[in-house]
Amino acid sequence: MKNLLLICLVFLFGKLSTFAQTITFDDQGYTNNQALGNPYSIINNGETFLFTVSNGGAPNATDNIYRTDENSCGASGLGHLYAGNFSATTWTIETSSGNEINLGRVRFDNIFPCFSFSYSLTIEGFKNSVSTGTQTLTVSGLNSVFTSNSSFDDVDRIVITAMDLANLGIDDIEFEVVLPVELLDFKGAVNDDAIELRWQTMSEWNNDRFEIEESKDGIRFEKIGEVKGNGTTSEQQAYSFVIEKPETGLKYYRLKQVDYDNQFEYSKIINVDFVKLDESFGSFYPNPSNGLVSLDYEARAYGEIIISIFDVTGKIKFEQFHQVSKGNNHLNFDFSNISPGIYLVEIRAKRKSTYQKIIIER
């Protein structure tokens, strides 16, 4: 029978699965040629994106501006953000929270008068201020589509550079939000002579492994094992880790979730108080007796004990099964049908046995 102590938590950590989104600018209620500020922010599905136009690494006097037409040659019906009319060399797009995205496609528009100028763009991804890779694109007219490669997965900033970005427009941006690993619960359970840790994830993204850490004071932790993760999955996963024969007392546990790129996050801390419960066998009394005896037995869990009586030759003379409850049990036995003499009694429980001598007299 299991003696369980459960502590439940629900929280997020690591990296999880993704969902597709598109940033558009024609559904925000802007008017043509409306200056939107620098940096300009737009909220998409709860995530705030910042667009900053700069020249030489510092914000320029120009604005991010909303346009619905091309400057001179009659193209209309557009709805894009463009990098203003003044010289600029850098256009940065980033999440204000620092959350990461997988960049998909970006549709650029050239709204330089009559498309008489082509833009040679370098587009670079960043994660934690470290470059993840670059691609190039030439924008000569409307609807020039940039399709990112895998170096733009899991980024928190995209930087677009060119000799001059004035009159370059962005029509829409497709991306996937990278969510944290969602830990559904984390439980610690005292299970007989062990502590069992169990946890579940709703989904995972690039999850290499969980490292299990233990502490006596909740401050200094050390690794005691690890469990392999399931990489990337949108299905719920269950994990467990068993600590055999732990020391008695209060222990603290946390999970260290590690990605394939060795980025990691810690879970919240749980604690488990391991109290070792031992069977306590009393002595038969009275002893000597006429065969009517009692035994006080303290059990660690509900179960069964076996009483076997052997004579001096080792021959079994009596055997009886008794159900016991967790805690103290007062048991009565009738051995009066056994001949007077000295006998060896075996008391056998699930994990422990002991032997006692009894004397039966008449």
* Chain segment 92-122, per-residue pLDDT in tens: 999 887 778 889 999 988 876 666 678 899 9
pLDDT (0 to 100) of residue 11: 44
What is the SS3 assignment for 259?
strand
In whole angstroms, what is the distance from residue 342 CA to residue 13 CA?
Answer: 67
pLDDT (0 to 100) of residue 1: 32
Q: What is the pTM of this model?
A: 0.50
pLDDT (0 to 100) of residue 16: 46
pLDDT (0 to 100) of residue 3: 34
Q: Which residue ranges of the chain lie beneath pLDDT 70?
A: 1-20, 45-46, 56-62, 69-79, 85, 112-116, 177-180, 192, 275-280, 351
- DSSP-derived letter for residue 141 is S
pLDDT (0 to 100) of residue 50: 92
CB atoms within 10 A of CB 296: 14
pLDDT (0 to 100) of residue 286: 92
In whole angstroms, what is the distance from residue 230 CA to residue 11 CA?
Answer: 18
Sign (positive/negative) of CA torsion 68, 70, 76, 82?
negative
In whole angstroms, what is the distance from residue 351 CA to residue 276 CA?
Answer: 13
User: What domains appear along the chain, each with residue ranges and CATH number?
Assistant: 18-178 (2.60.120.1350), 180-274 (2.60.40.10), 280-360 (2.60.40.3080)
Please name which of 198, 99, 78 lies closest in space to residue 141, comparing C-alpha atoms: 78
In whole angstroms, what is the distance from residue 118 CA to residue 57 CA?
Answer: 22
Q: Determine if the peptide bond prior to 39 is cis (ω within 30°).
A: yes
